[in-house]
Structure 1
Amino acid sequence: MLAELTGTEVPFPDRSTVGGTSEGLAIMYKRLYICLMKAGLGTQLRHLIELLDGAVADAYEAEGLSYRPRYTPVMRALMAHEPATIGQLAELAGITQPAVTQTVALMLKEGLVSAESEPGDRRQRLVRLSPAGRELLPRLQACWKATAGAAADLDAELPTPLSQTLEQAIRALEARPFSTRIAEARARLKTPEAVPSTPARGGRPKTRRA
């Protein structure tokens, strides 16, 4: 992780690498190194999704449903408004158009939705629930109610509710995208920092660029 952030290899800190520093500083440096070596944000998010989606998928299977968790945002959007275009579904579901396009394609194969060209514009497709998809709604809603209860239990166990943290993170990234933050972090890493030089005997320390 450190090598990725700084572009240099960082040896594991020990007494030889910290030199004459105190034992307390050596321990602090070691702990910092261990923290930075832990799983990155992307890995943690993927693992979180695996834990959540995996359990939800198992719950659907236990109910005898051949249904993927990724279908739910589209199903909910169609319950609120149908027929709908891919763009409308993306806005209603709060996900990207490519994600909606891929999800709708899978749902079409499983017969949960139907799609037809919009009158006057063959490039636009109108998506609606199929009879099979509509018949599935009562059983899905029962599963969603149980999932909401489990999510509430999880929130109650955490110092800050996960749903609240995720909402805040989404708003922050919508205001300033992660790509912008990465570019700013790279710029900071490239900016030389001022470090004090060794002071001359009886003189004041001079500042030089790293």
Structure 2
Amino acid sequence: MTSSDPTASPGRWHALHTLLADIDSQIESLYTDRGIEGVRPRFAYPLIRLAHAGPLTIRELAESLERSHSAMSQTIAAMRREGLVASEPGADARTRRITLTDRGRALIPFLEAEWRATEAAIAELDDEAPHPLSAAVTELENALARRPMRERILLHLDGLLPAVGPEAPSTTTRP
């Protein structure tokens, strides 16, 4: 390699990712303490939405939760493996509607209570911090509205990459 590994030292976002993973792990431990196996915190949002909105396609569910279709498809597959959701034929041959199974439906009261308790705990934590994360997120959203992340990355990317594509000079030699 001609450069040093940029992933060798944690970046500025590493601590936030680690914090969020730790919080998810602690929430998941609440599930297992209550005898709920195979349920991940990321399942709560779509399960609760399905309980309130009825059968939805993956696309409808993803849009309602502001998630990508791909991410929601992966989450649905994981929930299906755990027996939390099933699918039924949709309006046409290409669509399937996702429904809660009896097991998924039975978890909704706990998941809703856990959601509300987690929101209260996060509000308490946010209020306890000298620099609330919610305020920082709002400030970052405002900054990104002024200049999107893509534009910021491109500004720093110029000069860091060798030219690639059809106009790039050839790096191969021919005999």
DSSP 3-state at the match of 1:64 = coil
Q: Which moved more, 1:149-158 or 1:37-46?
A: 37-46
Match of 1:55 in 2: 26
Residue in structure 1 matching 2:118, options 142, 147, 165: 147
Name structure 2 gaps, 5 residues minimum: 162-175
Match of 1:96 in 2: 68
The whole-number CA distance in structure 2 between the counterparts of 1:176 and 1:90 is 26
TM-score by length of 1: 0.64
Q: Is the contact between residue 88 and residue 96 of structure 2 (CA under 8 Å) also seen in structure 1?
A: yes
Q: Deviations over 1:155-203 (max 9, x none)?
A: 111234323433554575577553332111223879xxxxxxxxxxxxx
Give runs of ≥4 in structure 1 deviating > 6 Å. Answer: none
- Please report the RMSD computed on the Cα atoms of aligned residues, expressed in angstroms: 2.8
Q: Say whether 1:122 aligns with 2:120.
A: no
Q: 1:89 to 1:138 in 2, by over 3 A?
A: same
Query: How many residue pairs are counted as aligned between the two chains?
Result: 156
Determine what percentage of the aligned residue pairs are the same residue. Answer: 35
**Aligned 1:170-189 pairs, distance under 5 A:** 173=144, 177-187=148-158
Residue identity in the other structure for 1:95:
R
Q: Is the contact between residue 76 and residue 93 of structure 1 (CA under 8 Å) also seen in structure 2?
A: no
The whole-number CA distance in structure 1 between the counterparts of 2:45 and 2:144 is 20
Match of 1:138 in 2: 109
The whole-number CA distance in structure 1 between the counterparts of 2:97 and 2:30 is 30
The answer to which structure, 1 or 2, has the higher relative contact order (CA under 8 A, 6+ apart) is 2
Q: Is the contact between residue 48 and residue 112 of structure 2 (CA under 8 Å) also seen in structure 1?
A: no
Q: Say whether 1:75 aligns with 2:39.
A: no
TM-score by length of 2: 0.75
